[in-house]
Amino acid sequence: MHENKRPSSHYLLTKIFMVLAVVIPLVSLGITLINYRNNVQVKLDGFRQMLQTLDATYLYKLVHENERQLEVLGNTLDREALVRGGSAISSSWRAAHRIKMDEHFIYFYHLGSGRLESYPQWVPPLGFEPEQRPWYALLKEEGKQQGWVGPYTQYGSENRVLTLVRRIDASNGHPLGVLMADLPLDGVQQSLERALGSQVGSLYLTDTGRNRMIAAVHPEWLRGLTGDEIDCEETLSWLYHGVALTHRLSYVGWELGIYLPPHLFRQVLMEVLALVLLPALLLLLVVGLGLRSLLRIFQLEIGMVQERLCTLGERRGEHAHRDNWFVGKSLGTLEELEISYQEHKQALRIDALTGIFNRRAFDEDRFKLAQHNEPFSMVLIDVDHFKQINDNFGHQFGDMVLRRIGGVLERNLGFTHVYRIGGDEFAALLLSERSKIEEQLAQLQRETRAQRWREGECRVSLSMGVAMNGLGNCQQFERADEALYRSKAAGRNCWHFAE
């Protein structure tokens, strides 16, 4: 009776494991999505706080300084003198100018005489036409006394400014002219850049009333985006369109916003997957392997296992005790031996410093490719002036350079294709067409040159030689080596194909 119950219990356990194999991924996926949304919301809350802080600590003060400046100037104007054609500038202009600490101009334009007065003094150049300047339109707008104009380029310079403009009327309501205070946009741009820091995205300030961009950091992120994409707030859409957060400045009619691109949210998702979903999938993999072994033992479909066990345990005899525990232990021991063998074999092929394949692996792999009669391309790579790097910055820094170059090679050419075959000598065995190899080498050069080092004055580049369509013999190696030396003779930091 006992022997008859054991198979049925295995079937029951198998069914339970199969149900768990479905339930666990679904639960893990749900937990992953919840954690992903929570993590994203934390990031978004941080960006919202940044927008509010930038408003409260900088933009509010900036706007109100300009408004206060015009208020002081407007209150000190002698309108009767202006009607008679007198000057608008008085001793109060200097004090009003000090309200703002940055370099700027304040102006008064006399409508009647067409004269433009400024502090500090600015003499309009020949050809200056007030009617063509953006602020002149305020004189023609009915019922509007004050408003922001711009951004526009200052006449005769490349500086971008905003201008707060107030129309000055006589006692009879007729316009006398406009009073203006410039707001240079360089300071606004620098403040936005400091606020964004190294964060990926675009921080921008817009005039919603006139639908104009005032200032923006990384405006290229905003190009080609439709309104639906920018305003998208759905969880999954974050991964495709990104998110735009906005904060309205009610006291001026502007809007401060930040656009966060999709890959920022994909990065968050990958981090959550690594913490939640991947361990669950690894657990399922282990359970699946256990079920597979259990089913094979139960159904006696272990022909290969029996053959391997016979080679390991012939001393136990043909009538050795056979049960699940015995087979499990034997397979475990065999697996440990095989893993140990593979680890030792693999360790002999790995370069200890860079973590990529070594010269032994290079020779073995090109021999295997030659055995299959499969033509391939051989790339020989040298780090330019590596001896000087070692001499100038030390061998420890030189080792760091080699490790990072190994990583760059792995990312661009693939781990299974790159080798360190000497001190600062690397190689690659590629099966790609010439055009594809050229693209890979170009990207490899760009990423290598873009590396930033602890010693800022250090610059690292690569010289490379390529021999196409060979079978790994000495002639192909010599052709690649000749192409490499042609690259060095050409000034390094380039590659050549063997003729």
Strand 254-260 with 243-249, pairing = antiparallel
Strand partners, 270: none
More confident residue, 91 or 405: 405
Report the share of the chain in percent with pLDDT over 90: 20
Backbone φ and ψ of 182, nearest 5°? -75, 145
Place 343 in a pLDDT band, splitting at 50, 70 and 90.
Answer: low
Nearest to 139 by CA among 105, 114, 106: 114
Range of the domain at 369: 359-497
Residue predicted with more confidence, 427 or 475 = 427
- Is residue 318 in a domain? no
Residue 46 lies inside a defined structural domain of this protein:
no
Residue 4 predicted with pLDDT over 80: no
pLDDT of residue 26: 79
**CA angle (447, 43, 197) in 5-degree steps:** 50
Q: Model confidence at 428, in pLDDT bands (50, 70, 90)? A: very high
Q: Which domain-ending residue is among 142, 162, 187?
A: 187
Average pLDDT score, the chain: 80
More confident of the two residues 57 and 345: 57
- The verdict on residue 10 lying in a domain is no
pLDDT of residue 305: 54
Q: Which of 141, 171, 187 is the C-terminal boundary of a domain?
A: 187
pLDDT confidence of residue 253: 84
Residue 312, pLDDT score: 42
Residue 276 resides in a domain = no
Considering the domain boundaries, does residue 432 fall inside one?
yes
Last residue of a domain, one of 141, 161, 187: 187
**Per this entry, what is the length of the chain?**
499
Percentage of the residues of the chain whose pLDDT score is greater than 70? 82
Res. 317: pLDDT tops 50: no
Question: pLDDT class for 231, splitting at 50, 70, 90?
Answer: very low
Res. 321: pLDDT tops 50 = no
Residue pLDDT, tens place only, 275-289? 776 776 777 677 677
Average pLDDT over residues 281-306: 62
In this structure, what CATH number is given to the domain that contains residue 107?
3.30.450.20
Kindly indicate the confidence band of residue 412, based on its pLDDT and cuts at 50, 70 and 90.
very high
In a domain, 166, yes or no: yes
List pLDDT tens digits, range 175-229: 888 888 888 888 888 888 898 888 888 898 988 878 888 888 888 888 756 544 4
Cα distance between residue 159 and residue 186, in whole Å: 8
- Enumerate the β-bridge partners of residue 168: 177
Nearest to 384 by CA among 499, 497, 272, 488: 488
Distance between CA atoms of residues 57 and 49, nearest Å? 12
Least confident of 294-303, 356-365, 377-386: 294-303
End-to-end CA distance of the chain: 79
Is 434 part of any domain? yes
pLDDT for residue 322: 46
The residues near 487 (Cβ < 8 Å, ≥ 6 apart) are: 463, 464, 465, 494, 495, 496
- Least confident residue range of 70-79, 328-337, 385-394, 408-417: 328-337
What pLDDT, on a 0 to 100 scale, did the predictor assign at position 260? 86
Number of domains in the chain: 2
Q: Residue written as tokens 């032994």? A: 360
Task: Quote the pLDDT of residue 303.
Answer: 56
Comparing 319 with 487, the larger pLDDT belongs to 487
pLDDT category, 334, cuts 50, 70, 90?
Answer: low
Beta strand ranges found along 301-397 (DSSP E)? 376-383
The pLDDT, as a whole number, for residue 285 is: 75
Q: How confident is the model at residue 298 (pLDDT cuts 50, 70, 90)?
A: low
Let me know if residue 174 belongs to a domain.
yes
**pTM for the structure as a whole:** 0.51
Residue 397: pLDDT over 80: yes
Greater confidence (473 vs 178) lies with 178
User: Does the pLDDT at position 311 exceed 80?
Assistant: no
Has residue 59 got a pLDDT over 80? yes
Beta pairing class for 418-420 and 425-430: antiparallel
Average pLDDT (90-101) is 81
Question: In whole angstroms, what is the distance from residue 37 CA to residue 44 CA?
Answer: 10
